[in-house]
Structures are given as structure tokens and as C-alpha cells.
Chain A
Amino acid sequence: ENVLTQSPGTLSLSPGERATLSCRASQSVSSNYLAWYQHKPGQAPRLLIYGASARATGIPDRFSASGSGTDFTLTISRLEPEDFAVYYCQQYGSPYIFGGGTKVEIK
């Protein structure tokens, strides 16, 4: 069974800095069916990226993603105050699994 491991668990950064989040799969993600979500406490999660690198509708271009096979990266080029949240990767081809999340917190 595939497992998605996100690192680091917590990323402490200041507004304006660059954030690099990793998602590593124990087995290759088929067809690059890899998505990234942003989740703030008490709010609905928000789809950021699908197909490993395609931005969802309305997502600012400071969010970018790359990767294939087993290694994927989400990059936030310059952190805005509203970007501090938990980020999850997800394999949306079977098995349908999420990573454990990376919390991006204000330093």
C-alpha cells in the first residue's frame, strides 16, 4: 500500500520568505495523480494543485508544484500572511490517500 510522507512536519518562516514542502510516496504515483491542499483551522480545505503541477482555478502564481513518480514538491515563492496554514498532498488515484501534512507557521 502506498504511503505519502510529507516533510518537514513544521516549517517556521517569515512573510516574504520562500517555502518548499516535500511529499514523498513509497510507490510511484500513477499518472501523476497528485494534489496539494491548503487547510486553515475552522475553514474548508482548498485545492491548490492537481496533476502534480497544475494550479486550480483562482490559485495565485506564487504557488507552484513539481515532481513525478515518488517525489513531489510544493513551493510558495513569497509567503503572504494568508499562506500560513497546513498543507496536505494527496494521491487521488487508487489508493486514495493523503499525506500527514506540513504546517507552515509564522517564525
Chain B
Amino acid sequence: QLQLQESGPGLVKPSETLSLTCTVSGDSISGSSYLWGWIRQPPGKGLEWIGSMYYNGGTYYNPSLKSRVSISVETSKNQFSLNLRSVTASDTAVYYCARARPRAAALSESWGQGTLVTVSS
């Protein structure tokens, strides 16, 4: 059974880089035709798709975040990561990792439980 688990700091200072990791079990990232991605939800607000990537490098990002976001895969650990640069308080959110369907970068069919990241000094 597929499981995804987010991990990383719960508190990040403004202007710094938010870094999160998603550990995948029950599927092999490198052996999969799926995409691996991130979605977030600010407190009291709706969902926002951040981006996703294939294990061999094809990436897709939300244009509104593209200049600050990078997603990478560590196949040896069966993990993928999110880096969001130059964060501000508006980046405070629950961050979810997810597996997306092939050829549908934003169609997230399996999600992790989410992790809250607060941006504050």
C-alpha cells in the first residue's frame, strides 16, 4: 500500500529557504511512471498546487511560484524534496506531498498527511 510521509522543519525564518522531504513506501519512485509533487494549504484557506516532477527530471511548476520553487528526487532513498526560496509569512501553510497520475502533473491521486510549516522570525 502506497504511503507518503512529509518531514522537515516546522518553523522557517523569513527570507530563508523552506525545505521538505517526502518519503515514499509501497512504490518505487524510479520504477514508476507517476509524478511526485507538492500541494499546500494556508491556514483557513484553500489548496494551492505547487508542482511535480517525473523521477527522470521532467518538472512542472505553478507559474505563481515557479521563480522560487524547485522539486528534486533522491531515488536511492525513495524520497523527493521541495525547496521554496525567499519565504514570507504568506508561505505559512500545511504542505502535502503527493503522487500524481502519469501525464497529469497536477492530478494528485495519493497524498501524505501533511506537515505545518510556519514562517516567522
A residues with CB within 8 A of B = 33, 35, 37, 39, 42-47, 50, 56-57, 88, 90, 92-93, 95-101
Contacts and interface: CB of A to CB of B under 8 A. Distances in A.
A27 B101 CA distance: 24
**Chain B contact surface mostly:** loop
A37 B39 CA distance: 13
A88 B48 CA distance: 11
B111 A50 contact: no
Nearest to B50: A96
Contact of B107 (A44, A47, A88, A97): A47
A98 B46 contact: yes
Contact of B111 (A35, A45, A93): A45
A88 B111 contact: no
Given A33-B104, A95-B63, A96-B62, A47 B48 contact: no
Contacts of A45: 39, 47, 96, 108, 111
Given A43-B113, A44-B112, A45-B96, A99 B107 contact: no
Interface of B: 4, 39, 46-49, 62-63, 96, 101, 104-114
16 contacts: A33-B104, A44-B4, A44-B111, A45-B47, A45-B96, A47-B109, A47-B110, A57-B109, A88-B46, A92-B107, A93-B106, A96-B49, A96-B106, A98-B46, A98-B48, A101-B46
Contacts of B114: 44
A39 B39 CA distance: 13
A47 B108 contact: yes
Of the candidates B107, B108, B112, B113, the one having the most CB atoms from chain A within 10 angstroms of its own CB is: B107
Contacts of B104: 33, 50, 92
Contacts of B106: 90, 92-93, 96
Contacts of B4: 44
B96 A44 contact: yes
Contacts of B110: 44, 47
